Amino acid sequence: MLEISFVVPIYNEAQNLRLLYRKIIDSVSRLNKTFELIFVDDGSDDESYSILEDLAGRDSRVMVVRLARNFGQTAALAAGFELSKGEVLIPMDGDLQNDPADIGAILRKLDEGYDVVSCWRKDRQDQFLTRRLPSVLANKLVSWISGVYLHDYGCTLKGYRRELMRHVRLYGEMHRFIPIFASWAGARVTEIVVRHHPRQFGQSNYGIMRSFKVILDLVTIKFLGDYSTKPMYFFGGAGILLILAGFATGIATLVQKFYYEVKAHRNPLLLGSIFFAILGVQFVLIGLIAELITRTYHESQGKPTYIIKTVLNSNQAIDAQVVRMNAVEIQESRRR
Protein backbone atom coordinates (compact mmCIF):
# COMPACT_ATOMS: atom_id res chain seq x y z
CA MET A 1 0.00 0.00 0.00
CA LEU A 2 1.14 3.54 -0.71
CA GLU A 3 2.20 5.61 2.28
CA ILE A 4 0.55 8.93 1.35
CA SER A 5 -2.42 10.00 -0.77
CA PHE A 6 -2.70 13.70 -1.50
CA VAL A 7 -6.22 14.80 -2.42
CA VAL A 8 -6.50 18.23 -4.06
CA PRO A 9 -9.95 19.52 -5.14
CA ILE A 10 -9.66 21.83 -8.14
CA TYR A 11 -12.12 24.40 -9.42
CA ASN A 12 -10.79 26.85 -12.02
CA GLU A 13 -7.16 26.86 -10.83
CA ALA A 14 -5.42 26.59 -14.21
CA GLN A 15 -2.76 29.18 -13.34
CA ASN A 16 -1.78 27.42 -10.13
CA LEU A 17 -1.66 23.77 -11.13
CA ARG A 18 1.81 23.29 -12.58
CA LEU A 19 3.49 25.25 -9.80
CA LEU A 20 1.46 23.39 -7.16
CA TYR A 21 2.45 20.06 -8.70
CA ARG A 22 6.15 20.96 -8.63
CA LYS A 23 6.00 22.17 -5.04
CA ILE A 24 4.29 19.00 -3.83
CA ILE A 25 6.74 16.76 -5.69
CA ASP A 26 9.73 18.71 -4.35
CA SER A 27 8.47 18.52 -0.76
CA VAL A 28 7.61 14.83 -0.82
CA SER A 29 10.87 13.84 -2.57
CA ARG A 30 12.75 14.93 0.56
CA LEU A 31 10.65 12.64 2.76
CA ASN A 32 11.44 9.36 0.98
CA LYS A 33 7.78 8.28 0.99
CA THR A 34 5.71 6.48 -1.61
CA PHE A 35 2.71 8.56 -2.62
CA GLU A 36 -0.02 9.32 -5.11
CA LEU A 37 -1.30 12.76 -6.03
CA ILE A 38 -5.04 12.86 -6.71
CA PHE A 39 -6.45 15.96 -8.37
CA VAL A 40 -10.25 16.13 -8.36
CA ASP A 41 -11.53 18.51 -11.04
CA ASP A 42 -14.80 19.73 -9.59
CA GLY A 43 -16.42 20.87 -12.83
CA SER A 44 -13.86 23.51 -13.85
CA ASP A 45 -14.75 25.56 -16.90
CA ASP A 46 -11.25 26.90 -17.58
CA GLU A 47 -8.14 25.01 -18.77
CA SER A 48 -7.67 23.14 -15.48
CA TYR A 49 -8.59 19.71 -16.82
CA SER A 50 -6.35 19.91 -19.89
CA ILE A 51 -3.41 20.85 -17.65
CA LEU A 52 -4.20 18.00 -15.26
CA GLU A 53 -4.47 15.66 -18.22
CA ASP A 54 -0.98 16.69 -19.29
CA LEU A 55 0.42 16.19 -15.78
CA ALA A 56 -1.15 12.73 -15.57
CA GLY A 57 0.37 11.82 -18.93
CA ARG A 58 3.84 12.80 -17.71
CA ASP A 59 3.68 11.32 -14.18
CA SER A 60 1.99 8.01 -13.35
CA ARG A 61 1.76 9.04 -9.69
CA VAL A 62 -0.80 11.67 -10.66
CA MET A 63 -4.43 10.56 -10.75
CA VAL A 64 -7.00 12.93 -12.19
CA VAL A 65 -10.66 12.57 -11.25
CA ARG A 66 -13.08 14.65 -13.27
CA LEU A 67 -16.53 15.18 -11.82
CA ALA A 68 -19.48 15.65 -14.15
CA ARG A 69 -20.25 19.10 -12.75
CA ASN A 70 -19.42 21.32 -9.80
CA PHE A 71 -20.53 19.37 -6.72
CA GLY A 72 -18.61 21.41 -4.13
CA GLN A 73 -15.42 20.94 -2.16
CA THR A 74 -16.77 18.31 0.23
CA ALA A 75 -18.01 16.04 -2.56
CA ALA A 76 -14.71 16.47 -4.42
CA LEU A 77 -12.75 15.44 -1.33
CA ALA A 78 -15.09 12.48 -0.79
CA ALA A 79 -14.42 11.31 -4.35
CA GLY A 80 -10.67 11.59 -3.85
CA PHE A 81 -10.77 9.77 -0.51
CA GLU A 82 -12.84 6.97 -2.01
CA LEU A 83 -10.35 6.35 -4.81
CA SER A 84 -7.21 6.81 -2.73
CA LYS A 85 -4.93 3.97 -1.63
CA GLY A 86 -2.52 5.62 0.81
CA GLU A 87 -2.20 4.84 4.52
CA VAL A 88 -2.25 8.58 5.25
CA LEU A 89 -4.64 11.00 3.55
CA ILE A 90 -3.59 14.63 3.17
CA PRO A 91 -6.12 16.98 1.57
CA MET A 92 -5.04 20.45 0.54
CA ASP A 93 -6.29 23.39 -1.47
CA GLY A 94 -5.28 23.96 -5.07
CA ASP A 95 -4.74 27.71 -4.81
CA LEU A 96 -1.12 27.63 -3.53
CA GLN A 97 -2.12 29.18 -0.21
CA ASN A 98 -1.34 25.94 1.64
CA ASP A 99 2.40 25.26 1.75
CA PRO A 100 3.51 21.72 0.76
CA ALA A 101 6.61 22.29 2.91
CA ASP A 102 4.37 21.65 5.96
CA ILE A 103 3.69 18.06 4.90
CA GLY A 104 6.69 16.78 6.86
CA ALA A 105 5.41 18.34 10.09
CA ILE A 106 2.02 16.70 9.60
CA LEU A 107 3.60 13.27 9.09
CA ARG A 108 5.79 13.66 12.17
CA LYS A 109 2.74 14.40 14.31
CA LEU A 110 0.95 11.35 12.93
CA ASP A 111 4.03 9.28 13.78
CA GLU A 112 3.63 10.42 17.39
CA GLY A 113 0.40 8.42 17.53
CA TYR A 114 -2.23 10.97 16.56
CA ASP A 115 -5.06 10.04 14.22
CA VAL A 116 -5.90 13.53 12.96
CA VAL A 117 -3.57 16.47 12.51
CA SER A 118 -5.47 19.71 11.97
CA CYS A 119 -3.64 22.77 10.69
CA TRP A 120 -3.87 26.34 11.98
CA ARG A 121 -3.22 29.20 9.58
CA LYS A 122 -2.06 31.45 12.43
CA ASP A 123 -0.77 34.19 10.13
CA ARG A 124 -3.56 33.98 7.60
CA GLN A 125 -3.07 35.96 4.40
CA ASP A 126 -6.67 36.87 3.59
CA GLN A 127 -8.87 39.92 3.89
CA PHE A 128 -9.78 40.69 7.48
CA LEU A 129 -13.46 41.64 7.30
CA THR A 130 -14.65 39.13 4.72
CA ARG A 131 -12.45 36.13 5.53
CA ARG A 132 -10.43 36.27 8.75
CA LEU A 133 -12.91 37.82 11.19
CA PRO A 134 -15.85 35.56 10.23
CA SER A 135 -13.47 32.58 10.39
CA VAL A 136 -12.29 33.44 13.92
CA LEU A 137 -15.85 33.84 15.18
CA ALA A 138 -17.01 30.66 13.46
CA ASN A 139 -14.09 28.63 14.84
CA LYS A 140 -14.80 29.80 18.39
CA LEU A 141 -18.47 28.90 17.99
CA VAL A 142 -17.68 25.47 16.54
CA SER A 143 -15.19 24.70 19.32
CA TRP A 144 -17.64 25.78 22.02
CA ILE A 145 -20.55 23.75 20.69
CA SER A 146 -18.60 20.62 19.70
CA GLY A 147 -16.20 20.51 22.65
CA VAL A 148 -13.28 19.97 20.24
CA TYR A 149 -11.12 23.07 20.61
CA LEU A 150 -9.24 23.97 17.43
CA HIS A 151 -8.21 27.36 16.09
CA ASP A 152 -8.87 26.71 12.41
CA TYR A 153 -11.53 24.30 11.18
CA GLY A 154 -11.55 25.88 7.73
CA CYS A 155 -8.00 24.96 6.72
CA THR A 156 -8.21 22.20 4.12
CA LEU A 157 -4.65 21.05 4.81
CA LYS A 158 -4.90 18.23 7.35
CA GLY A 159 -3.61 14.73 7.95
CA TYR A 160 -5.81 11.67 8.50
CA ARG A 161 -5.08 8.03 9.11
CA ARG A 162 -6.82 5.97 6.47
CA GLU A 163 -8.62 3.64 8.88
CA LEU A 164 -10.33 6.65 10.42
CA MET A 165 -11.82 7.87 7.13
CA ARG A 166 -13.42 4.49 6.41
CA HIS A 167 -16.09 5.38 8.98
CA VAL A 168 -16.71 8.98 7.89
CA ARG A 169 -19.36 9.95 5.36
CA LEU A 170 -19.19 13.47 3.95
CA TYR A 171 -22.26 15.50 3.01
CA GLY A 172 -23.01 19.14 2.36
CA GLU A 173 -19.87 21.04 3.40
CA MET A 174 -18.97 18.80 6.30
CA HIS A 175 -15.31 18.22 5.42
CA ARG A 176 -14.22 20.92 7.87
CA PHE A 177 -15.85 19.00 10.73
CA ILE A 178 -13.98 15.72 10.25
CA PRO A 179 -11.87 16.36 13.40
CA ILE A 180 -15.11 16.57 15.39
CA PHE A 181 -16.44 13.28 14.03
CA ALA A 182 -13.04 11.69 14.70
CA SER A 183 -12.84 12.99 18.26
CA TRP A 184 -16.35 11.76 19.04
CA ALA A 185 -15.26 8.34 17.77
CA GLY A 186 -12.29 8.29 20.16
CA ALA A 187 -9.53 9.39 17.77
CA ARG A 188 -6.57 11.43 18.98
CA VAL A 189 -6.72 14.91 17.44
CA THR A 190 -4.00 17.55 17.53
CA GLU A 191 -3.25 20.86 15.84
CA ILE A 192 -0.09 22.42 14.41
CA VAL A 193 0.69 25.89 13.07
CA VAL A 194 1.30 26.00 9.32
CA ARG A 195 2.24 28.67 6.82
CA HIS A 196 -0.32 30.45 4.70
CA HIS A 197 0.42 32.39 1.54
CA PRO A 198 -1.57 35.09 -0.24
CA ARG A 199 -3.29 33.98 -3.41
CA GLN A 200 -1.07 34.66 -6.43
CA PHE A 201 -3.34 33.71 -9.31
CA GLY A 202 -7.06 33.50 -9.86
CA GLN A 203 -9.72 34.49 -7.37
CA SER A 204 -11.24 32.86 -4.33
CA ASN A 205 -14.35 30.75 -4.78
CA TYR A 206 -15.55 31.51 -1.26
CA GLY A 207 -17.15 34.56 0.29
CA ILE A 208 -18.66 35.69 3.54
CA MET A 209 -21.83 33.69 2.83
CA ARG A 210 -19.87 30.55 3.68
CA SER A 211 -19.94 31.61 7.35
CA PHE A 212 -23.73 31.29 7.36
CA LYS A 213 -23.43 27.82 5.84
CA VAL A 214 -21.02 26.88 8.63
CA ILE A 215 -23.57 27.91 11.24
CA LEU A 216 -26.28 25.79 9.58
CA ASP A 217 -23.88 22.84 9.29
CA LEU A 218 -23.02 23.29 12.96
CA VAL A 219 -26.68 22.84 13.92
CA THR A 220 -26.63 19.56 12.02
CA ILE A 221 -23.37 18.47 13.65
CA LYS A 222 -24.76 19.14 17.12
CA PHE A 223 -27.94 17.25 16.33
CA LEU A 224 -26.09 14.26 14.87
CA GLY A 225 -23.64 14.17 17.74
CA ASP A 226 -26.19 14.30 20.55
CA TYR A 227 -29.50 13.12 19.15
CA SER A 228 -28.97 10.95 16.07
CA THR A 229 -29.85 7.78 18.04
CA LYS A 230 -32.50 9.45 20.26
CA PRO A 231 -34.20 12.15 18.17
CA MET A 232 -37.31 12.12 20.38
CA TYR A 233 -35.27 13.78 23.12
CA PHE A 234 -34.70 16.70 20.80
CA PHE A 235 -38.08 16.91 19.10
CA GLY A 236 -39.97 16.01 22.25
CA GLY A 237 -38.01 18.56 24.27
CA ALA A 238 -38.74 21.27 21.71
CA GLY A 239 -42.41 20.25 21.74
CA ILE A 240 -42.64 20.49 25.52
CA LEU A 241 -41.02 23.93 25.49
CA LEU A 242 -43.51 25.10 22.87
CA ILE A 243 -46.44 23.76 24.87
CA LEU A 244 -45.18 25.52 28.01
CA ALA A 245 -44.62 28.72 26.03
CA GLY A 246 -48.16 28.48 24.63
CA PHE A 247 -49.54 27.92 28.12
CA ALA A 248 -47.64 30.88 29.52
CA THR A 249 -48.74 33.06 26.62
CA GLY A 250 -52.34 32.03 27.20
CA ILE A 251 -52.08 33.00 30.89
CA ALA A 252 -50.56 36.34 29.89
CA THR A 253 -53.40 36.90 27.44
CA LEU A 254 -55.98 36.23 30.17
CA VAL A 255 -54.18 38.58 32.55
CA GLN A 256 -54.23 41.34 29.94
CA LYS A 257 -57.89 40.65 29.20
CA PHE A 258 -59.23 40.72 32.77
CA TYR A 259 -56.86 43.20 34.42
CA TYR A 260 -55.90 45.57 31.61
CA GLU A 261 -58.93 45.11 29.32
CA VAL A 262 -56.75 44.26 26.31
CA LYS A 263 -58.75 42.19 23.87
CA ALA A 264 -56.84 39.10 22.72
CA HIS A 265 -58.17 39.27 19.19
CA ARG A 266 -56.95 42.89 18.98
CA ASN A 267 -53.41 42.12 20.11
CA PRO A 268 -51.48 41.57 16.84
CA LEU A 269 -48.06 41.63 18.54
CA LEU A 270 -48.87 38.56 20.59
CA LEU A 271 -50.28 36.68 17.61
CA GLY A 272 -47.33 37.69 15.41
CA SER A 273 -44.71 36.55 17.94
CA ILE A 274 -46.42 33.18 18.32
CA PHE A 275 -46.66 32.74 14.56
CA PHE A 276 -43.01 33.54 13.87
CA ALA A 277 -41.71 31.44 16.79
CA ILE A 278 -43.63 28.36 15.70
CA LEU A 279 -42.76 28.88 12.06
CA GLY A 280 -39.05 29.23 12.84
CA VAL A 281 -38.98 26.09 14.94
CA GLN A 282 -40.80 24.18 12.22
CA PHE A 283 -38.28 25.18 9.63
CA VAL A 284 -35.34 24.13 11.81
CA LEU A 285 -36.90 20.79 12.61
CA ILE A 286 -37.79 20.14 8.98
CA GLY A 287 -34.17 20.84 8.07
CA LEU A 288 -32.88 18.35 10.62
CA ILE A 289 -35.33 15.68 9.49
CA ALA A 290 -34.23 16.28 5.92
CA GLU A 291 -30.61 15.71 6.97
CA LEU A 292 -31.52 12.30 8.39
CA ILE A 293 -33.51 11.41 5.30
CA THR A 294 -30.56 12.37 3.09
CA ARG A 295 -28.22 10.09 5.01
CA THR A 296 -30.69 7.23 4.90
CA TYR A 297 -31.16 7.67 1.17
CA HIS A 298 -27.45 7.69 0.34
CA GLU A 299 -26.12 5.14 2.82
CA SER A 300 -28.88 2.55 2.47
CA GLN A 301 -28.27 2.40 -1.29
CA GLY A 302 -24.55 3.12 -1.28
CA LYS A 303 -25.08 6.20 -3.43
CA PRO A 304 -22.16 8.65 -3.54
CA THR A 305 -22.71 12.40 -3.37
CA TYR A 306 -20.82 12.88 -6.62
CA ILE A 307 -20.70 11.58 -10.18
CA ILE A 308 -17.31 10.83 -11.75
CA LYS A 309 -16.93 11.56 -15.42
CA THR A 310 -13.30 10.55 -16.08
CA VAL A 311 -10.39 8.99 -14.15
CA LEU A 312 -6.81 9.07 -15.44
CA ASN A 313 -3.94 6.88 -14.19
CA SER A 314 -6.06 4.63 -12.02
CA ASN A 315 -6.00 0.84 -11.91
CA GLN A 316 -9.77 0.89 -11.59
CA ALA A 317 -12.21 0.65 -14.47
CA ILE A 318 -14.44 3.54 -13.52
CA ASP A 319 -16.67 5.58 -15.80
CA ALA A 320 -19.91 7.51 -15.58
CA GLN A 321 -21.66 4.37 -14.32
CA VAL A 322 -19.87 4.85 -10.98
CA VAL A 323 -23.00 6.59 -9.75
CA ARG A 324 -24.57 3.12 -9.59
CA MET A 325 -21.63 1.56 -7.77
CA ASN A 326 -21.44 1.40 -4.01
CA ALA A 327 -18.26 1.32 -1.96
CA VAL A 328 -18.10 -2.48 -1.96
CA GLU A 329 -18.28 -2.64 -5.74
CA ILE A 330 -15.49 -0.08 -6.01
CA GLN A 331 -13.27 -2.19 -3.76
CA GLU A 332 -14.06 -5.26 -5.87
CA SER A 333 -13.16 -3.36 -9.04
CA ARG A 334 -9.78 -2.54 -7.53
CA ARG A 335 -9.04 -6.21 -6.85
CA ARG A 336 -10.02 -7.10 -10.39
Say which CATH number the domain at 67 has: 3.90.550.10
Question: Helix and strand tally (H, E) in the chain?
Answer: 11, 8
Letter for the amino acid at 39? F
Answer with the residue of higher pLDDT: 204 or 5: 5
Does residue 16 sit in the same domain as residue 65? yes
Does residue 61 sit in the same domain as residue 140? yes
Rounded to an integer, the average pLDDT of 187-194 is 94
Residue 225 in any domain: the answer is no
Distances (CA, A) of 133 to 129, 146, 152: 5, 20, 12
Does residue 191 sit in the same domain as residue 69? yes
Residue 193 in any domain: the answer is yes
Does residue 151 sit in the same domain as residue 199? yes
Instruction: Check residue 332 and give its pLDDT.
Output: 44
Residue 224 in any domain: the answer is no
Distances (CA, A) of 305 to 23, 79, 280, 301, 308: 30, 8, 29, 12, 10
Does residue 293 sit in the same domain as residue 248? yes
Residues 106-146 pLDDT 10s = 999 999 999 999 999 988 877 777 677 888 888 898 898 88
Does residue 246 sit in the same domain as residue 183? no
Does residue 101 sit in the same domain as residue 172? yes
Does residue 79 sit in the same domain as residue 186? yes
For the whole prediction, is pTM greater than 0.85? no
Residue 325 in any domain: the answer is yes
The rounded percent of the chain whose pLDDT value lies above 70 is 86
What rounded mean pLDDT belongs to the chain? Answer: 83
Q: State the residue range of the domain holding 261.
A: 230-299
Do the beta carbons of residue 137 and residue 71 sit within 8 Å?
Answer: no
Does residue 161 sit in the same domain as residue 295? no
Instruction: Report the relative pairing of strands 88-91 and 158-161 from DSSP bridges.
Output: antiparallel
Does residue 161 sit in the same domain as residue 278? no
Does residue 163 sit in the same domain as residue 188? yes
Does residue 77 sit in the same domain as residue 33? yes
Residue 286 in any domain: the answer is yes
Residues 285-309 pLDDT 10s = 888 887 788 778 667 767 676 767 7
Using the predicted structure, report yes or no on whether residue 316 has a pLDDT greater than 50.
yes
Using the predicted structure, report yes or no on whether residue 327 has a pLDDT greater than 60.
no
Rounded to the nearest 5 percent, the helix, strand and coil shares of the chain are 55, 15, 35
Residue 221 in any domain: the answer is no
Residue 219 in any domain: the answer is no
Residue 169 in any domain: the answer is yes
Number of domains comprising the chain: 2
Query: Which secondary-structure segment (H or E) carries 5?
Result: strand 4-10
